[in-house]
Amino acid sequence: MAAELTSTKLNAENHLLLDQPLLRLPHELARRNFKSIQRFLEREREYILPALKETTEASLSSNQTTDQTLSALDTMISRMQGLKRKMESLHQEEKKIHAQSKKRIQHLDNLHQIPSLTDVKYDQWSRIRLDRLVVDHMLRSGYTESARQLAQARGIEDLVDLSVFVQCQRIAGSLRQGEAKEALQWCNENKAALKKSRYNLEFELRLQQYIELVRTGDKHKFVEAMAHAKRFLIPYFESHSAEIHRAAGLLAFSSDTKAEPYKSMYSPDRWSYLSDLFVRTHHELLSLPSRPLLHIALSAGLSALKTPSCHSAYTSSSSNSLSTATSVCPICSTELHELARNMPYAHHTKSYVESDPIVLPNGRIYGQQRLLKMGKKAGCVGTGKIKDPTTGELFEEGEMKKVYIM
Amino acid sequence: MDHVQKEHERLFKKVKSAQSIKNVQATIDMLQSARDAIAADPSQESITLAKLQNNVQSSFDTINDNLKDTHSSLNKYSKALDKFFKDRPLPSTEHDAVSSQEQLINRAIAMHLLREGQFSVAATFHHEMAEKKGMDTDMDEVPSDEVQSQFATMYHILRELKEKNNLLPAIQWSRDHKEELEARGSNLEFELCRLQFVWLFYGEQHQRGSTPTGRQAALQYARREFQAFLPRYLREVQQLMGAMAFCPNLQDSPYRAIFNNASAWEDVAHSFTREFCSLLGLSADSPLYIAATAGAIALPTLLKLQTIMKAKRTEWTSENELPVEIPLPPEYLFHSIFVCPVSKEQTTDQNPPMMMPCGHVIAEESLKRLCKGSRFKCPYCPSESHPREARKVFL
């Protein structure tokens, strides 16, 4: 049973495939934020309760003066005030994230109110989605300023995650410059979440620091490198023993060695590898897809639209820029033509032609009504004559011949 | 979706109430007042402290409960999200022919921005791309300044037209491109002039500058400009002139449709955009928009296909054709499509559609298989023909 050729049905629930990160990302941020609050609170609790107990006991057995008690209490008060400040700022952040989520949920919910794909509202919704996808693509590729301007121009700042990507790009950039500090700090902030990560970012960063120490060739640095290895690499011994052995071996080779694998360990390319690894880890942590959503949408869309005519050597009669009666196909338009060249074309099981096809002596097929109307419009064609809108050739009306497309 | 919305609302409410911070403040107050009490009356120190210890303990417990509460809301929202997206995993990244062509995508985006009139964003984008690539920028893949200035012209004309009801720049443009437009069979110039005539006719209502307006001005305009249109648009011009006879009471005349068309300006702007883009070889609506939308429509089907293929462990064999049909709204079909009724395959350059003398069309390969080099009967009617008589057709 052949599927329908066209459909205008909009199934909102199914339609939201591309929009998962829109809600997932702020949710991850909110969770992280919440965990920080919890951590801060726990830390104070662990300090204050024992401290208070101690003070009380000391006071009961009268081996401290009132002044000592008061100063102990003052310390507790100021620590609690510190906690409150931290919680307040995190709470502000939390509120912001949730307000954003709310707007996003609202945006997705709007789709549920739209009855069909041909509705004007769907057009508007889909345009916003495209803007979101484009901003996402720009952010991922590091075109931050463009992304910011576009988001602002379209008023969709709440629907895109500028700051998250800006931070990610900054750290990735610092890694490309050969600087691991910011990345390590990020690892520290996300320690708990990183445990579940498929990638071993932190180990790789520490290993790189070690390599940099050894690269100097300075004997004093070697000592430092070994201390570094003991402190930061050995804890990974169970899972990364081969790498650690190799790292130890590195001490015997100078940085201009040609011996593998030491040569590639010294290679500056390792930094861009680390940068990529960081981006992958970062996206994994925030449940962001590894490739831009725009690419996913485009590869599906290009194929769905593409026909064998799009890259044909012959001009199509049905959609070309030569005549007013047809609109230019988006795949044939300059923007996407090259991009779509290697894509598969859409599958069709039924022909789709105008209901009154005729063929001209040059083999071109048109809808008769459309052709006659076009002739009238163009005006310059004499009566009883018709003009092929693609090639410009003139024919007698009698030369049109009925053609049967099944 | 409702479920997600409800859970989020609940969570948001909890977060907004900021109960835990209030309780932290309460704890601070407790400590503070105990401190004050001890400072005032050191003899009560031990009792106050003992009391305080209990109070602070329970206060921390309350804060923990607050947090637990928020945490459970957070988890409920998590579950709602999981449930909502459960059957909707992100599409897999296996068939990825686009990501390797980043430059082409960027180019498409740059053109999309220009086409949407986002010139400053486009300029920034252009700049950032050049910066990223360094000195050896190959400007081939970004739209040339020429395209940019073309779109700038288009937006200038559209702005004049839509905001100031000034048709003159559009008319000028259509005159400059008269031949190309005529070859396309476009009525743009006449449509613009006709609207100008109508606009002048209603002139009294929007007095503007020194241009004389009103019926007199319209007639003058007609005398001056419509001469050139007579061969092609005699009937339309006659209609306009005929309407003048009904001048005081156009509303009830048969001509009211011409003079009272609310969407006339929109329509003209639309056909102007279309003609303008077509002359540049571009489609009227942004291809990036259409492709991304079509993609979103297609994804559920493709995803389902992926699941089925995985379950049945089959492979997608037709490499250059999608394995399933994807229904799109009719306005997303641009080309005619010919599927050979014999082989059920779409025709291509290598296997073009052939028409037999009886007017039935099949694919060349099917024809060769059917005829085996000699006369054969059309599979759809009784007529017989020789394969030599079949002709290649273009759809």
Higher pLDDT, B333 or A103: A103
Q: Which residue of A has its CA nearest to B113?
A: A150
Cα–Cα distance, B365 to B388 (Å, whole number) = 14
Is any Cβ of chain B less than 8 angstroms from the Cβ of A146?
A: yes
Cα–Cα distance, B98 to B104 (Å, whole number) = 9
Instruction: Report which of B270, B395, B278, B272 is spatially closest to residue B333, judged by C-alpha positions.
Output: B395
pLDDT digits (tens, 9 = 90+) for A108-155: 888 888 888 888 888 889 999 999 999 999 998 889 999 999 999 888
Cα–Cα distance, B265 to B196 (Å, whole number) = 10
Cβ–Cβ < 8 Å for A224, A213:
yes
Pair of tokens at residue A132: 């979101």
Q: Which of A2, A99, A307 sits opposite B337 (nearest CB)?
A: A307
Per CB-CB distance under 8 Å, the chain B contacts of A338 are: 101, 104
Per-residue pLDDT, B90: 66
For the whole model, what pTM was predicted? Answer: 0.83
Tell me which residues of chain A, numbers 272 to 311, contact chain B at a CB-CB cutoff of 8 Å: 289-292, 294-305, 307-310
Does the pLDDT value for residue B381 go beyond 50? yes
Pair of tokens at residue A291: 């490739």
Per-residue pLDDT, B162: 81
pLDDT digits (tens, 9 = 90+) for A366-384: 888 888 877 776 655 667 7
Q: How many CB atoms lie within 10 A of CB A55?
A: 23
Q: In what order do the strands lie in the sheet with A401-402?
A: A365-367, A357-359, A401-402
Cβ–Cβ < 8 Å for A5, A348:
yes
Per-residue pLDDT, A132: 92
Query: What percentage of chain A carries pLDDT values higher than 90?
Result: 14
DSSP SS3 for A339: coil
CA B289 → CA A123, A271, A298, distances in Å? 10, 37, 9
- Which of A101-110, A395-404, B233-242, B308-317 comes out lowest in average pLDDT? B308-317
Per-residue pLDDT, A135: 93
SS3 content of chain A, % helix, strand, coil (to 5): 65, 5, 30
Per-residue pLDDT, B316: 64
Per-residue pLDDT, A196: 80
Q: What is the CATH number of domain B335-395?
A: 3.30.40.10
Count of CB contacts below 8 A, A vs B? Answer: 459
Tell me which residues of chain B, numbers 317 to 346, contact chain A at a CB-CB cutoff of 8 Å: 318-339, 341, 344, 346
CA distance B174 to chain A (A): 14
pLDDT digits (tens, 9 = 90+) for B33-89: 888 888 888 888 888 888 888 888 888 899 889 889 889 998 999 898 888 887 666
pLDDT grade for A322, boundaries at 50, 70 and 90 = low
Cβ–Cβ < 8 Å for A328, B276:
no
CA dihedral for B255, B259, B263, B265, sign (positive or negative): positive
pLDDT digits (tens, 9 = 90+) for A211-254: 888 888 778 888 888 888 888 888 888 888 888 888 888 888 88
Determine the average pLDDT of the residues in A59-76. 83
Per-residue pLDDT, A290: 80
Question: Each residue of B98-122: b (16+ CB within 10 Å) or e?
Answer: bbebebbbbbbbbbbbbbbebeebb
Is any Cβ of chain B less than 8 angstroms from the Cβ of A394?
A: no
CA distance B252 to chain A (A): 28
Is any Cβ of chain B less than 8 angstroms from the Cβ of A377?
A: yes
Question: Each residue of B366-389: b (16+ CB within 10 Å) or e?
Answer: bbeeebeeeebebebeeeebebee
Determine the average pLDDT of the residues in B141-146. 64
Per-residue pLDDT, B205: 53
Per-residue pLDDT, B139: 47
Cβ–Cβ < 8 Å for A292, A135:
no
Per-residue pLDDT, B136: 44
Query: Is B35–A351 a contact, with Cβ atoms under 8 angstroms apart?
Result: no
Residues in chain B: 395
Determine the average pLDDT of the residues in B382-393. 89
Pair of tokens at residue A210: 């070690």
Determine the average pLDDT of the residues in A196-203. 84
Cα–Cα distance, A46 to A58 (Å, whole number) = 19
- Which of B115-124, B130-139, B320-329 comes out lowest in average pLDDT? B130-139
DSSP SS3 for A178: coil
pLDDT digits (tens, 9 = 90+) for A335-344: 888 888 888 8
DSSP SS3 for A308: coil
Is any Cβ of chain B less than 8 angstroms from the Cβ of A73?
A: yes
Per-residue pLDDT, A89: 92
Query: Is B346–A316 a contact, with Cβ atoms under 8 angstroms apart?
Result: no
Q: Which residues have a Cβ under 8 Å from the Cβ of B383 and sit 6 or more positions away?
A: B356, B357, B358, B377
CA distance B334 to chain A (A): 5
- Which of A265-269, A315-319, B205-209, B351-355 comes out lowest in average pLDDT? B205-209
Q: Which residues have a Cβ under 8 Å from the Cβ of A353 and sit 6 or more positions away?
A: A318, A365, A367, A405, B336, B337, B338, B395
Query: Is A77–B113 a contact, with Cβ atoms under 8 angstroms apart?
Result: no
CA A124 → CA A128, A151, A153, distances in Å? 6, 16, 15
Per-residue pLDDT, B374: 85
Pair of tokens at residue B330: 């009719």
Cβ–Cβ < 8 Å for B231, A379:
yes
- Match 């073309």 to its residue by tokens: B150
Query: Is B393–A403 a contact, with Cβ atoms under 8 angstroms apart?
Result: yes
Query: Is B25–A145 a contact, with Cβ atoms under 8 angstroms apart?
Result: no
Determine the average pLDDT of the residues in B132-151. 64
CA distance B177 to chain A (A): 14
Does the pLDDT value for residue B2 go beyond 70? yes
Beta bridge partner(s), residue B392: B354
CA B346 → CA A308, A329, A375, B208, B334, distances in Å? 8, 18, 30, 58, 15
Cα–Cα distance, A288 to B165 (Å, whole number) = 47
Q: How many CB atoms lie within 10 A of CB B306?
A: 16
pLDDT digits (tens, 9 = 90+) for A178-192: 888 889 988 888 887
Helix (H) or strand (E) holding B143: none
CA distance B204 to chain A (A): 33
Cα–Cα distance, B311 to B309 (Å, whole number) = 5
CA dihedral for A62, A65, A69, A75, sign (positive or negative): negative
Determine the average pLDDT of the residues in B137-158. 72
HEC-encoded secondary structure of A69-120: HHHHHHHHHHHHHHHHHHHHHHHHHHHHHHHHHHHHHHHHHHHHCCCECCCH
Query: Is B50–A346 a contact, with Cβ atoms under 8 angstroms apart?
Result: no
- Match 């965990």 to its residue by tokens: A35
Give the DSSP per-residue string, B72-128: HHHHHHHHHHHHHHTT-PPPPSSS-SSGGGHHHHHHHHHHHHHHTT-HHHHHHHHHH
What is the maximal distance between C-alpha atoms in chain A? 121
Phi and psi at B353, nearest 5°, equal -70, 140
- Which of A74-83, A396-405, B195-204, B248-257 comes out lowest in average pLDDT? B248-257
Beta bridge partner(s), residue A387: A394
Q: Which of B4, B334, B339 sits opposite A350 (nearest CB)?
A: B339
Q: What is the predicted ipTM? A: 0.82
Per-residue pLDDT, B137: 46
Residue A45's Cα: distance from chain center in Å? 39
Q: Where are the domains of chain B?
A: 2-78, 103-133, 144-279, 335-395
Cβ–Cβ < 8 Å for B294, A301:
yes
Mutate to test the interface with B, among A333, A355, A391 (most CBs of B within 10 A): A333
pLDDT digits (tens, 9 = 90+) for A270-287: 898 999 999 989 988 888
Cα–Cα distance, B282 to A330 (Å, whole number) = 8
Mean pLDDT of chain A: 85
Burial label, B90 (beta-carbon count in 10 A; 0-12, 13-18, 19+): buried
Per CB-CB distance under 8 Å, the chain A contacts of B345 are: none
